[in-house]
């Protein structure tokens, strides 16, 4: 699928790497900022041809990897920092890589050595009533995903409200937890551009992914959809001309898509509540009710989505746990 070109803006260039093998994401977008030295927003996945693609695009701008000074990673999923280690090596100098502190563990050697999986993830799937063969499929999917990046242990941190600047740009960091606990957006107010990572994507609704490894979080009570809805309200207040996401096409109606997302999640919660009206169910048994066409290797994402919505429904006292399990049983109130 061909996406429409991003707008031409001073000192902001877009590189839309075709994300072969992941048609639902279409592209992995890397943004090149500055007049030199350069700042990258995200670094794309380590897939065949991606490094050469990025180099050609940099060369067409009159730059190369040695002109890169820093990389800002919007969150710690592998398709957002996959090329960072290779860029550091090709640049031949100490390129700084910035990420929110909540994401450091996700990018670490320790996490990669475990295949991006954990005992906590196993326990979460068991709590949901997932059959062992489905848990193994999920583990295998995460192992495959780990090939899309090299781990990064040497990173610098950024926090909500921080500013990073370079030739012709100034970025404000906006912490937007939800897709992950440490997701950030970056506002370049002079150009009216909001870089959103996976928090806002035009063609799909981002998954507010549950965080099994609670010990890694600042707030052990973190709930991904509840946080995501709060982040959307934070972004709704911004006045921007363009939204530049990490996948697919740019947008020019931030408030419109935020409203679409909000309605989507309300509809999904209504569907979950309806699935629980007649009798208590474990999470795994709700999948067909809520996601009748879900790909078979997306079971973890489906369970994650169900958990995040159930957490909000429990907050609203529309659902309760009738048996802690495993598997846990939920019913509508």
Residue 323 falls within a domain, yes or no? no
- Count of C-beta atoms within a 10 Å radius of residue 299: 22
Residue 299 falls within a domain, yes or no? no
> Any idea what the Cα angle at residue 135 is, between residues 26 and 311, rounded to 5°?
75
pLDDT one-digit tens code per residue, 273-292: 999 999 999 999 999 999 98
Residues of the domain holding 227: 12-122+143-262
Residue 58 falls within a domain, yes or no? yes
Sequence-ordered list of residues with C-beta below 8 angstroms from that of 324, at least 6 positions apart, any chain: none
Residue 278 falls within a domain, yes or no? no
Residue 300 falls within a domain, yes or no? no
| pLDDT > 70 fraction of the chain, expressed in percent and rounded | 100
Residue 132 falls within a domain, yes or no? no
- Whether the bond between 39 and the residue before it is cis, its omega within 30 degrees of 0, is no
The CATH code of the domain that includes 96 is: 3.60.15.10
Mutual orientation of helices 84-91 and 50-60 as an angle, nearest 10°? 50
In the predicted model, residues of the chain with pLDDT beneath 70 are: 1
| Cβ atoms 218, 177 nearer than 8 A | no
Three-class secondary structure of residue 17 per DSSP? strand
> C-alpha 219: how far from its chain's center?
19
- pTM for the model stands at 0.96
Write down the pLDDT at residue 125: 96
For residue 25, give the nearest of 37, 42, 7, 13 by alpha carbon. Answer: 42
Q: Name residue, tokens 């740009």.
A: 169
How many domains are there within the chain?
1
Residue 133 falls within a domain, yes or no? no
Sequence-ordered list of residues with C-beta below 8 angstroms from that of 156, at least 6 positions apart, any chain: 96, 97, 98, 99
Write down the pLDDT at residue 1: 62
Residue 298 falls within a domain, yes or no? no
CA Rg value for the chain: 20
């Amino acid at each position: 699928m061909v996406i429409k070109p991003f707008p031409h803006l001073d000192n902001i260039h877009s590189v839309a790497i075709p994300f072969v093998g992941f048609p639902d994401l279409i592209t992995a977008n890397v943004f090149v900022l500055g007049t030199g030295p350069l700042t990258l927003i995200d670094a794309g996945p380590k897939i065949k041809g991606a490094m050469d693609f990025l180099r050609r695009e940099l060369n067409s701008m009159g730059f190369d990897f040695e002109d890169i000074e820093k990389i800002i990673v919007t969150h710690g999923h592998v398709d957002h920092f996959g090329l960072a280690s290779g860029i550091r090596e090709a640049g031949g100098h100490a390129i700084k890589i910035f990420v929110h502190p909540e994401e450091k563990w996700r990018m670490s050697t320790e996490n990669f050595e475990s295949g991006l999986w954990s005992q906590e993830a196993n326990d979460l799937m068991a709590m949901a009533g997932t059959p062992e063969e489905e848990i193994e499929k999920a583990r295998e999917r995460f192992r495959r995903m780990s090939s899309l990046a090299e781990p990064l242990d040497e990173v610098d941190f950024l926090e909500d409200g921080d500013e990073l600047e370079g030739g012709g740009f100034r970025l404000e960091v906006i912490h937007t937890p939800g897709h992950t606990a440490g997701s950030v957006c970056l506002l370049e107010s002079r150009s009216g551009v909001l870089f959103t990572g996976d928090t806002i994507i035009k063609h799909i609704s981002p998954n507010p992914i549950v965080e099994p490894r609670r010990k890694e979080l600042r707030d052990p009570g973190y709930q991904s959809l509840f946080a995501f809805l709060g982040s959307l309200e934070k972004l709704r207040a911004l006045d921007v001309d363009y939204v530049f996401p990490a996948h697919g096409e740019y947008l020019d109606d931030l408030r419109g898509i935020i409203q679409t997302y909000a309605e989507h999640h309300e509809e999904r919660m209504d569907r979950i509540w309806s699935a629980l009206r007649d009798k208590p169910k474990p999470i795994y048994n709700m999948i067909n009710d809520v996601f009748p066409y879900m790909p078979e290797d997306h079971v973890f994402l489906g369970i994650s989505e169900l958990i995040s919505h159930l957490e909000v429904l429990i907050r609203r006292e529309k659902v309760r746990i009738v048996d802690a399990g495993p598997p846990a049983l939920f019913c509508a109130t």
